[in-house]
Chain A
């Protein structure tokens, strides 16, 4: 009873790009859409699949739905399966809603009589009673999605494969979908949901799987999977736009500036709430007196909202720092930042005078704070807030 699903699949999907003429030589490249993917879903489970665009989620769903054939490996499924892929269940736009719903029912393995019996329920759920004899090409995209989703629900399958339904439709329809999810779950249906929305995964899924570049990155707790997914997203984002600015003046040269983990490894992303530790390595090229090393923390809009500095203790009364010496600055901050991209500018001043700049590196450190929620504002301050209800005006 426990285990109803067992799906180890391995697939090398070859996308062939043909040129010009069928009889000309065939040039193609191979796209490994999924590689070494293996997982199990239990009966009655609400299973989430997350991943970036092009990570192989849809291919996987199409394999499960028997629309594509796996190149290697096996897929085993218990029970009847109803797919909802790319916002549709496979309609012919030249036919009316009635014809399509009946045809789809038969494809799902119902008898024509059974599907005709369900037609009313489908149309009612989709709220399309007036348009049942209208050809689908005259439907709006929202109407189409509603009809498709209703058709899938009424197919009475044991397993539902759902791709991104919550991304479309108005609020009322989304509410209907979520209600339907809960009902399906209560009835012991197995649901496989592909989505980009972490909150959906965390709200509904019993377990979730993260796919990236055709490989399974993580399977398990939905919250953990969500965090991994966000991390993955932002790592890519940060890599792409690294900024090069001059890091040397006549007096001081910046060798390195980075965020560090507890273990001293360089970081480009940091989880919300996790302490920020940074390290700067400077080389002193000329004798400089009264060095101050300062930082400005700025958000993605370029708004610097926090400034702090540290004086360097040199030799003698003027705090002289000799040419040829090396300086390491470490700083640790409590992370009150909200998710998003942030920058740290770094400045070195002479004579303990903020305006007397020896070196200024704009965007010396560029990092991303990730987290599930993105509230309004710049920082997320710790607070204790309570609300008290009384019957009378306070005396």
Chain B
């Protein structure tokens, strides 16, 4: 029998990160995949639901806003724009909402095993990203069917998505640990996500053929999500639409959004890192 010479290492208790990179990503991937499978487990349509849900919302909104309110009737690309906006916002809303209860849902695991706590909120974002990936396939089919020409700016789309992932993850991290302490977070966030939806140009396009009040444009551009969505519209569907910079009234106008974005990310990281060691005790 060979004696294994083990090395004494100090253990510092649970943390947001730690335990090796490979294990971190293995765990993250597995959690996200299991959760993704579980969402549609036992349903007849399975993954089709992930496509059907935004499409139904899209159909309803398209009818209401083009036929009843006549918001986008001057804008030929409005339906594609609406669909892309809904799919993207859907990702943001679903991921963040799922993250609120994510730590509580894993209570049994958190109370009994040591693992990098960060994988929990990250996995909810990743699960959301799987859904987004499926939905984007439909969106691209629509985009081509609508006759939107591919543009070199499409290459910038991943960059915009990355920004969206960033803020989604940061908010998810904060929500997941705050909910452990304050159950009010669930209610606050449901309302906030709804308000944010209307504070993001999804239903109403900003520009010459849409909503034209520039003061409102400037105000909306304080919302980092609005900036991301406006720019995605320019890059993906309507190169002629006002860019985020133009909508904000110059580069300086983007500063508040940038500050909010950075502050959100820093806050998310900070609060999660601070709370991670104590999650198991607070549950």
Chain A residues packing against B (C-beta within 8 Å): 1, 4-6, 13, 15, 18, 22, 43, 62-70, 74-79, 83, 85-86, 88-95, 99, 102-104, 106-109, 111-112, 158, 188
Contacts and interface: CB of A to CB of B under 8 A. Distances in A.
B25 to A, nearest CB: 10
Contacts of B277: 69
Given A43-B6, A62-B280, 4 more contacts: A66-B114, A68-B280, A94-B38, A112-B26
Contacts of A22: 181-182, 184
B115 interface: yes
B108 interface: yes
Contacts of B4: 79, 158, 188
Contact of A67 (B5, B23, B26, B112): B112
Most-contacted residue by chain A among B7, B12, B20, B281 (CB, 10 A)? B281
A166 to B, nearest CB: 18
Nearest to A102: B30
A1 B9 CA distance: 15
B21 interface: no
A13 B281 contact: yes
Contacts, number: 117
Interface string B1-29: 10111111111111000011011001100
Most-contacted residue by chain A among B105, B110, B115, B280 (CB, 10 A)? B115
Contact of B112 (A74, A86, A112): A86
Most-contacted residue by chain B among A13, A75, A90 (CB, 10 A)? A90
B5 A106 contact: no
Contacts of A106: 23, 26-27, 30
Which 6 pairs across A and B sit closest by C-beta, in order of nearness? A69-B13, A78-B6, A90-B112, A66-B114, A90-B113, A90-B109
B53 interface: no
B281 A75 contact: no
Contacts of B280: 62, 67-68
A99 B181 CA distance: 29
A88 B108 contact: yes
Interface of B: 1, 3-14, 19-20, 22-23, 26-27, 30-31, 34, 38, 105-106, 108-115, 181-182, 184, 277-278, 280-281
Contact of A65 (B105, B106, B114): B114
Q: Is the interface of B mostly helix, strand, loop or mixed?
A: mixed
Given A83-B113, A93-B108, A75 B11 contact: yes
B8 A77 contact: yes
Contacts of B3: 1, 188
B109 A78 contact: no
Contacts of A66: 11-14, 114
5 contacts: A13-B281, A92-B105, A111-B26, A112-B26, A112-B30
A372 B282 CA distance: 39
Most-contacted residue by chain B among A94, A95, A106, A158 (CB, 10 A)? A106
A99 B33 CA distance: 10
B109 A92 contact: yes
B27 A107 contact: yes
Q: Is the interface of A mostly helix, strand, loop or mixed?
A: loop
Given A1-B5, A69-B12, A109 B181 contact: no
Nearest to A75: B11
A161 B12 CA distance: 17
A1 B4 CA distance: 8
A91 B115 CA distance: 13
B12 to A, nearest CB: 7
Contacts of B10: 74-76
A6 B31 CA distance: 34
Contacts of A76: 8-11
A83 B277 CA distance: 18
Contacts of A75: 10-11
Contacts of A6: 8
Contacts of B114: 65-67, 83, 107
A385 B280 CA distance: 56
A88 B112 contact: yes
A92 B14 contact: no
B6 A103 contact: no
A62 B113 CA distance: 9
Contact of A107 (B5, B38, B113): B113
Contacts of A70: 13
Contacts of B38: 94-95
Given A106-B27, A107-B113, A91 B1 contact: no
Given A6-B8, A99-B34, A109-B23, A90 B110 contact: yes
B19 A109 contact: yes
A83 B111 CA distance: 11
A84 to B, nearest CB: 8
A107 B114 CA distance: 7
Contacts of A62: 280
A83 B281 CA distance: 17
A281 to B, nearest CB: 53
B174 to A, nearest CB: 15
Contacts of B31: 103
